[in-house]
Amino acid sequence: MRHQSLHRLTEPIIDQNPITRQILGICSALAVTTSMATALTMSVALTVVLTSSSIIISMIRGHLPSSIRLVMQITIIASLVIVVDQLLKAYLFELSQRLSIFVGLIVTNCVVLGRAEGFAMHHPPWQSFMDGLGNGLGYSLILLMVAAIRELAGTGELFGYVIFRTTEAGGAFVPFELMLLAPSAFFIIGGLIWLIRSIRPRQVDPVEFPLCPHSSGGNS
Amino acid sequence: MADLNPISYWEKLLALPNDSRRKTIFVAVVVSLVCAGLVSFTSVVLRPLHEKNLQQERERQMAEMIAALPGLATVLTDAGATRLEVRVVELATGVVAADMDPADYDYEARQTDPTSTDIIPEADDVAGISRRPRLAPVYLVRDGTNLVLVVLPIYGRGYQSTIRAYLALEGDVSTIAALSIYQQGETPGLGSRISNADWLNNWRNLPAFGAEGEVQVEVVTGGAAQPFEVDALSGATRSSAGVSNMVRFWLGPSGFGPFLDHIRAGAQ
């Protein structure tokens, strides 16, 4: 039992990672990864929402009528998101300005509803907690990796501290400005997926519709 | 015989089959009430903190801009900080609304309220804000009795967000002393550079009005050739144009134009 719970926590970090394996939650991964500070705040916000929504939904799963279960899940998730957003605005005002609407958009993040509907509805609270936390950490890991690459290459800084002095500030580093635009996150996430699947070939999806072997001679 | 004991009533409801109509409505109501309570509670508890943050941010920006103006810091210390006056101005006529207490006027809330705004004709809506509030605050800095600075709060649409700024005019109300952008959500690293000090420094000492009193200050691409032109940021042409449009709108006849005319005529 203990081993199984731990497995729930560790599996989504790489093997079932919500971003690189299940390709969920991509939109926020593109939007908030221009700097480490925003990516970290977003990761913490999402992990908190995901973990608590998993626990709550798992606790009331026995009483959720199937006809309105999705509405109820969204209601719970949306309320948690609003609370987190309000807390950020009160205590981390400057960061919340930079994250603008993306914390609010956690509601529509497929990872959260996906885990609620796919896991928490069928498992007890403790396992749902581990699963929510694991998925949150997996999401955070990818977000922070992408943000580290983008911020370092795009501005020469990490968490706002200068690592490479840019030419504008009298150094030798020419910022790679493409890294600050959304498409670069696609390239980096694509590269990460390729990297993970080359190291762990088990993750490669089987070909759904294999091509027929080429028949020689044609049809004439 | 109705069961009036709330605990056993609650238990009876919970024991109903999940897909019965009564249980569905019961669960929906309970979950909604709990969620609504949670959201309202946080919102009410945290509201003073939110307002404090916004207020601090606004004051910081204002102080930053005024402190950065050459020679102004000394004027302020000599004259005492009390010389910064806030007035609420009726935009259409340019007259100060004497019966309004500026401290009670929530400008940002009034900007979207249909009862306190007028629709701007599309041809005049340079700043892309569609509605213009009837009343707007202005800040006047005096040295003794001389007007040394008029600060106008302005806003307009950028590339993907509303840009908010303070525009400071010198006492002659025809020279732009400084521009300070305190809120924008433009593309990080590109459009967001409009609030960098480097670019805002270009907005110093610009003759805002031409010989006929028309607004001539403008953001141009490809290098500023005239003293009233500001070079746009490369890679952020549309954000730069948004700032340009917003300044031109608020200095023009639909914005603070009538008020500035009053000052020129010596009414203030």
Is the residue at B64 inside a domain? Answer: no
Same domain, B52 and B92: no
Task: Assess if residue B214 is contained within a domain.
Answer: yes
How does the average pLDDT of chain B come out, rounded? 84
Residue A204 one-letter amino acid:
V
- Tell whether B147 is covered by a domain: yes
Does residue B125 share a domain with residue B38?
A: no
CA A109 vs. chain centroid, Å, equals 9
Is the per-residue pLDDT at B75 higher than 70? no
- Asked whether the beta carbons of residue A82 and residue B42 sit closer than 8 angstroms, the reply is yes
In a domain, B1, yes or no: no
Under a CB-based contact definition with an 8 Å cutoff, are residues A143 and A42 in contact? yes
B221 and B88 in a common domain = yes
Lookup: tokens for B237: 């042409």
How far is A72 from B28, CA to CA, in rounded Å?
7
Distance (Å, whole) CA B130 – CA B123: 10
B141 and B76 co-located in one domain = yes
Under 8 Å between Cβ of A203 and A21? yes
* B127 and B155 part of one domain: yes
**Percentage of chain B with pLDDT > 90?**
19
Q: Flag whether pLDDT at B12 surpasses 70.
A: yes
Contacts 24+ apart (CB under 8 A), B116-121: B118/B92, B120/B254
Q: Is residue B63 part of a domain?
A: no
| B173 and B49 together in one domain | no
Reduced DSSP (H G I as helix, E B as strand, rest coil) percent helix, strand, coil of chain A, to 5: 70, 5, 25
Give the pLDDT score at B65. 67
Q: Any CB–CB contact under 8 A between B42 and chain A? A: yes
What pLDDT score does B81 carry? 47
CA dist A47 and A80 (Å) reads 11
- Give how far A86 is from chain B: nearest CA, Å: 7
Task: Identify whether residues B25 and B112 lie together within a single domain.
Answer: no
Average pLDDT over residues B237-262: 92
Which pLDDT tens digit goes with each residue over A118-169?
889 899 999 999 999 999 999 999 999 999 999 888 888 888 788 888 777 7
Identify whether the C-beta of residue A12 lies closer than 8 Å to the C-beta of residue A129: no
Report how many domains make up chain B: 2
Dist. CA B195–CA B237, nearest whole Å: 14
Identify whether residues B53 and B169 lie together within a single domain.
no
In chain B, residues with a C-beta closer than 8 Å to the C-beta of A71 are: 28
Beta pairing class for B218-220 and B229-231: parallel
Burial class for A210, CB neighbours closer than 10 Å (0-12, 13-18, 19+): exposed
Q: Is the pLDDT of residue B260 over 80?
A: yes
In a domain, B62, yes or no: no
| Model confidence pLDDT, tens digit, residues B165-205 | 888 888 888 889 888 888 888 887 788 889 888 898 888 88
CA B2 to chain A, closest CA, distance in angstroms equals: 24
- Residue numbers of the domain that contains B210: 69-264
Question: How far apart (Å, rounded) are the C-alpha atoms in residues A16 and A34?
Answer: 25
pLDDT in tens, A40-77: 988 999 999 999 999 999 999 888 888 888 999 999 99
Least confident of B1-5, B32-36, B38-42, B117-121: B1-5
The set of residues, in sequence order, having a beta carbon less than 8 Å from that of A197 and lying 6+ positions away, is A203, A204
Inform me whether the pLDDT recorded for A91 exceeds 60: yes
Both tokens assigned to B145: 């009795």
What average pLDDT is seen over chain A?
A: 85
pLDDT at A47 (0 to 100): 93
Residue B73: inside a domain: yes
> Are B52 and B100 contained in the same domain?
no
Same domain, B109 and B227: yes
Tell me if B138 is assigned to some domain.
yes
pLDDT confidence of residue A216: 62
Both B150 and B45 in a single domain?
Answer: no
Q: What b-and-e string marks burial along A33-46, b requiring 16 or more CB atoms within 10 Å of the CB? A: bbbbbbbbbbbebb
pLDDT above 60 for A172: yes
Cα(B182)–Cα(B166) distance, rounded to whole angstroms?
8
Closest approach of B49 to chain A, Cα-based (Å): 5
**pLDDT digits 0-9 by tens, B26-63:** 889 999 999 999 999 999 999 889 888 887 877 777 77
Q: What is the mean pLDDT of residues B136-163?
A: 86
B90 and B120 within one domain? yes
Minimum CA–CA partner of A35 in chain B: B188
